[in-house]
């Protein structure tokens, strides 16, 4: 075990800094990075910070932490319908322990190469374990997906399933101990897979879109607020809810699916006349694409089971 | 005194988020910001994090902290010869105390408006007091100033004076208590003024450039290493050294001037044939511009007093 100097940490992280991109004129090592933006594209910038004990439990590996920190940011890029390109990183850690830094660098390398991202800058500081990532991506002008734009009658969709990452976290923390815990659950929390392809395919189809980081109802609520509309959500259409209920009981399953965060699925709305087009493109996706409700003119979210309205569960994640 | 929610913090910071820029298509409030890059410019990206107890002493005001966090990043933009445009911010604090957040927002607003920067994204987390700032700027293709490029015979210059910020910090920490402490000293630490105009003017004149954040000799050393050259520095040419010696004694003055960090002056090299041009442009600057030495072919830094070589003082700031 050895404490690395700042320049050694930077050296290790730079070596694993992901894809070699020809638009990176000058990467890590000067006062700043020098980047060549593509012609006729707009830029999308996102930033998200993860700190130990707040956004992830004590003891997760460096590799998983790096993947998660980049994954959640790439998810924001996906939610805008953009392509990620360049990232900067601020890594705070109590001690620069070499094997941990190398593990972190591996996760960083895996995730950035997977999604063709180049690490172009960063800073390391001594402090509590935390990672801030900032990513810049590209999107054709006028085609970015936004939270506003949903209109009455639009279908409400989600990719994949919600509640699984929160179930994985609950297992890691010993809150629940299901008999046959699917291996996928913890992976969903530790290594979220951003829905980049889906976001890109939704350009010109979705009327509004965001990613689900703090729970389905909470994030859908943000989309509704930005669009000044309301929604009706049909419980029997939430994908995987029955399976989850069979394993964990109905109350826990409902709470996880509707308010559990960290799934990084996309939630989006599609006008009726484009729903056939969505059915076509989503057939090629590797994940489910499910219509879970409909935009209404009234405010707020109405939750329906069969034909009856049911009360909303308490809200999702609050940072302060 | 009241603890604010995350959305209240974001609201306050957004309101003070600096200049209104027409190239910000969509600012804070969605999954990401949407930005319109200028035609025929390259981008410069910088990132720097400041944590309490490491980069600034306990007890500085929110206003000063915000200015300092943005100032040091803008300084990196200046050192590349670029213009700042867009910033993102990660603010970590133990508690979202309203008056502190408002004070921070004021400093943020002052600094970003002063330098025409728009805050386009951010994240807030509960944790030890710390600020990470990332700034994107513009520079004409091929005109960015870099650390590499200095060649034998080039003059070595600095803007302003070094050691004053470190003197201010030493006063704040009670390490030194000079009789007539110049008010400027603490200001230099708390509110560094990035040399944006100077960096821009140095395009096409300087052969290499960086900003002095960790001490003159240490940062000059980085420039030399990137350029694969050495340097001779003449002590009698270091600006303000005599004044500082008269106030604090020679040893302390030397140590502050040569190894004291946090000045955010530019250190740059200029080929002989462009030194007259530099003299001309620097005449319009509001700060000094001083030739302190010369690039040599041999490695390392030789420090000269009159005609005799003197030993180097111990190095500047190390983060780990």
pLDDT tens-digit readout, A223-282: 999 999 999 999 999 999 999 999 999 999 999 999 999 999 999 999 999 999 999 999
**B6, B80, B319: residue with CB nearest A126:** B319
B45, A51: Cβ pair inside 8 Å? no
- Assess if residue B99 is contained within a domain: yes
- CATH code, domain carrying B75: 3.30.1330.10
If we measure between CA atoms, which residue out of B223, B227, B228 comes closest to residue B209? B223
pTM, entire model: 0.93
pLDDT of residue A183: 87
Q: Which residues contact A256 (CB under 8 A, 6 or more apart)?
A: A162, A163, A164, A166, A167, A170, A244, A248
If we measure between CA atoms, which residue out of A86, A77, A111, A84 comes closest to residue A199? A77
Q: How far apart are CA A312 and CA A303, in angstroms?
A: 7
pLDDT of residue B1: 40
- Assess if residue A319 is contained within a domain: no
Of residues A320 and A138, more confidently modeled: A138
The answer to whether A95 and A140 are in contact (CB under 8 A) is no
pLDDT of residue B319: 44
pLDDT of residue A287: 96
CB-CB neighbours of B272 under 10 Å: 11
Is the domain of B42 the same as that of B112?
A: yes
- Assess if residue A28 is contained within a domain: yes
If we measure between CA atoms, which residue out of B136, B157, B318 comes closest to residue B223? B157
pLDDT digits (tens, 9 = 90+) for A42-53: 999 999 999 998
Q: Is B80 on the interface with A (CB under 8 A)?
A: yes
**Of the residues A108, A139, A170, the one at which a domain ends:** A139
Helices (H), chain A: 6-15, 62-79, 98-114, 164-172, 184-190, 196-201, 216-227, 241-248, 250-259, 275-282
pLDDT digits (tens, 9 = 90+) for B80-110: 999 999 999 999 998 889 999 999 999 999 9
A47, B123: Cβ pair inside 8 Å? yes
Q: What percent of chain B has pLDDT over 70?
A: 98
A31, B147: Cβ pair inside 8 Å? yes
pLDDT of residue A315: 63
- Assess if residue A150 is contained within a domain: no
Q: Is B94 on the interface with A (CB under 8 A)?
A: no
pLDDT digits (tens, 9 = 90+) for A175-199: 998 888 998 999 999 999 999 999 9
pLDDT of residue A82: 98
- pLDDT confidence of B315, banded at 50, 70, 90? low
Chain B residues touching residue A320 (CB < 8 angstroms): 3-6, 9, 96, 124, 126
A47, B122: Cβ pair inside 8 Å? yes
- Assess if residue B183 is contained within a domain: yes
Is the domain of B102 the same as that of B233?
A: no
The answer to whether A158 and A265 are in contact (CB under 8 A) is yes
Chain A residues touching residue B54 (CB < 8 angstroms): 125-127
A31, B120: Cβ pair inside 8 Å? no
Q: What is the DSSP letter of A79?
A: H
B47, A92: Cβ pair inside 8 Å? no
**Of the residues A139, A173, A203, the one at which a domain ends:** A139
**A36, A88, A146: residue with CB nearest B134:** A88
**B96, B121, B128: residue with CB nearest A46:** B121
Q: Is A142 on the interface with B (CB under 8 A)?
A: no
Domain span including residue B269: 155-310
| A-proximal residues of B, 18-77, CB under 8 Å | 25-26, 29-37, 41-49, 51, 54-55, 76-77
pLDDT digits (tens, 9 = 90+) for A97-148: 999 999 999 999 999 999 999 999 999 988 889 999 999 999 999 999 999 9
Q: How far apart are CA A42 and CA B205, in angstroms?
A: 32
Residue whose entry in the numeric block shows the structure tokens 């002590």: B235
Q: Is B127 on the interface with A (CB under 8 A)?
A: yes
Chain A, chain B: beta-carbon pairs less than 8 Å apart: 196
pLDDT of residue A316: 54
Q: What percent of chain B has pLDDT over 90?
A: 82
Is the domain of A276 the same as that of A162?
A: yes
Is the domain of B207 the same as that of B160?
A: yes
B88, A47: Cβ pair inside 8 Å? yes
Q: How far is B306 from chain A (nearest CA, A)?
A: 33
Is the domain of A199 the same as that of A63?
A: no
Chain A residues touching residue B138 (CB < 8 angstroms): none
pLDDT of residue A180: 87
Q: How many CA atoms lie within 13 A of B116 on its CB side?
A: 12
Q: Which of A21, A30, A86, A318 to mutate to test the interface with B (most CBs of B within 10 A)?
A: A30
CB-CB neighbours of A96 under 10 Å: 20
pLDDT of residue A1: 40
B234 forms beta bridges with B304
pLDDT digits (tens, 9 = 90+) for B183-241: 899 999 999 999 999 999 999 999 999 999 999 999 999 999 999 999 999 999 999 99
Structural domains of chain B, count: 2
- CATH code, domain carrying A191: 3.90.650.10
pLDDT over 50 (residue A32): yes
pLDDT of residue B184: 92
**B41, B47, B92: residue with CB nearest A122:** B47
The edge-to-edge listing of strands for the beta sheet with A266-270 is: A208-211, A266-270, A155-159, A289-296, A230-234, A300-305, A308-310
Of residues B277 and A17, more confidently modeled: B277
Q: What percent of chain A has pLDDT over 90?
A: 83
DSSP state letters, chain B: --BPPHHHHHHHHHHT-B---TTEEE-BTBSSEEE-PPTT-EEEEEEEEEEBTTTB-TT--HHHHHHHHHHHHHHHHHHTT-EEEEEEEEEEESS-BHHHHHHHHHHHHHHHHHTT-EEEEEEEEESSSEEEEEEEEEE-TT----S----TT-EEEEES-SSHHHHHHHHHTTS---TT--THHHHHHHS----HHHHHHTTTT-SEEEE-SS-HHHHHHHHHHHHT-EEEEEGGGSTTHHHHHHHH-HHHHHHHHHH------EEEEE-GGGHHHHHHHHTT-SS-EEEEEEEESSSEEEEEETTEEEPPPPP-----
- Assess if residue B261 is contained within a domain: yes
pLDDT over 90 (residue B295): yes
The answer to whether B263 and B212 are in contact (CB under 8 A) is yes
Quick check: helix, strand or coil at residue A109? helix
Q: What phi and psi, each to the nearest 5 degrees, are found at residue A48? A: -155, 140
A49, B125: Cβ pair inside 8 Å? yes
pLDDT digits (tens, 9 = 90+) for A195-224: 999 999 999 999 999 999 999 999 999 999
- Assess if residue A303 is contained within a domain: yes
pLDDT digits (tens, 9 = 90+) for B156-180: 999 999 999 999 999 998 999 888 8
Q: Is A227 on the interface with B (CB under 8 A)?
A: no
- Assess if residue B124 is contained within a domain: yes
- For residue A210, the surrounding DSSP H or E stretch is strand A208-211
Is the domain of B18 the same as that of B104?
A: yes
Q: What phi and psi, each to the nearest 5 degrees, are found at residue B51? A: -120, 145
A320, B77: Cβ pair inside 8 Å? no
Is the domain of A131 the same as that of A183?
A: no
B88, A134: Cβ pair inside 8 Å? yes
- pLDDT confidence of A92, banded at 50, 70, 90? very high
CB-CB neighbours of A282 under 10 Å: 19
**Angle between helix B98-114 and B6-15 (nearest 10):** 30
Chain A residues touching residue B96 (CB < 8 angstroms): 320
**Of the residues B139, B171, B193, the one at which a domain ends:** B139
The residue count of chain B comes to 320
pLDDT over 50 (residue A319): no
Q: Which residues contact B166 (CB under 8 A, 6 or more apart)?
A: B189, B215, B256, B259, B260, B261, B262, B263
Is the domain of B133 the same as that of B242?
A: no
**B45, B127, B137: residue with CB nearest A130:** B127
Is the domain of B129 the same as that of B251?
A: no
- pLDDT confidence of A320, banded at 50, 70, 90? very low
A31, B79: Cβ pair inside 8 Å? yes
CA nearest to B47 within chain A: A122
Q: What is the mean pLDDT of chain B?
A: 93
Chain B residues touching residue A96 (CB < 8 angstroms): 320
B30, A80: Cβ pair inside 8 Å? yes
The answer to whether A272 and A202 are in contact (CB under 8 A) is no
- For residue A37, the surrounding DSSP H or E stretch is none
pLDDT of residue B2: 60
B320, A126: Cβ pair inside 8 Å? yes
Is the domain of A11 the same as that of A128?
A: yes
Q: Write the secondary structure of A216-262 as one string of H (helix), E (strand) and C (coil).
A: HHHHHHHHHHHHCCEEEEEHHHCCCHHHHHHHHCHHHHHHHHHHCCC
Q: Which residues contact A252 (CB under 8 A, 6 or more apart)?
A: A176, A244
Is the domain of B76 the same as that of B50?
A: yes
pLDDT of residue B320: 44
CA nearest to A264 within chain B: B31
pLDDT of residue B316: 54
Is the domain of A161 the same as that of A58?
A: no
Chain B residues touching residue A41 (CB < 8 angstroms): 37
CB-CB neighbours of A69 under 10 Å: 26
């Amino acid at each position: 075990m050895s404490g690395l100097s700042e320049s050694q940490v930077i050296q290790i992280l730079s070596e694993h800094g992901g894809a070699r991109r020809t638009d990176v004129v000058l990467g890590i090592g000067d006062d700043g990075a020098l980047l060549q933006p593509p012609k006729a594209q707009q830029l999308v910038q996102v930033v998200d910070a993860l700190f130990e004990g707040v956004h992830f439990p004590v003891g997760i590996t460096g590799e998983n932490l790096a993947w998660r920190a980049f994954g959640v940011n790439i998810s924001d890029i996906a939610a805008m319908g953009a392509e990620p390109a360049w990232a900067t990183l601020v890594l705070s850690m109590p001690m620069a322990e070499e094997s941990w830094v190398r593990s972190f660098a591996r996760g960083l390398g895996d995730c950035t190469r997977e999604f063709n991202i180049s690490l172009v800058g960063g800073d390391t500081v001594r402090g509590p374990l935390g990672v801030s990532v900032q990513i810049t991506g590209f999107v054709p002008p006028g085609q970015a997906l936004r939270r506003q734009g949903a209109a009455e009658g639009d279908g409400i969709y989600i990719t994949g399933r919600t509640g699984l990452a929160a179930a994985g976290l609950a297992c890691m923390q010993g809150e629940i101990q299901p008999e046959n815990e699917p291996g996928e659950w913890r992976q969903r929390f530790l290594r979220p897979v951003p829905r980049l392809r889906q976001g890109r395919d939704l350009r010109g189809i979705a009327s509004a879109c965001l990613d689900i980081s703090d729970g389905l109802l909470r994030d859908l609520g943000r989309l509704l607020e930005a669009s000044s509309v309301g929604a009706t959500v049909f419980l029997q259409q939430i994908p995987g809810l029955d399976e989850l209920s069979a394993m964990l009981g109905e109350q826990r399953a409902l709470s996880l699916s509707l308010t559990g965060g960290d799934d990084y699925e996309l939630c989006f709305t599609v006008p009726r006349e484009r729903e056939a087009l969505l059915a076509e493109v989503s057939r090629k996706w590797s994940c489910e694409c499910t219509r879970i409700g409909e935009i209404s003119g009234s405010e707020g979210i109405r939750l329906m089971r069969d034909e009856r309205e049911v009360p909303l569960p308490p809200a999702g994640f609050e940072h302060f």
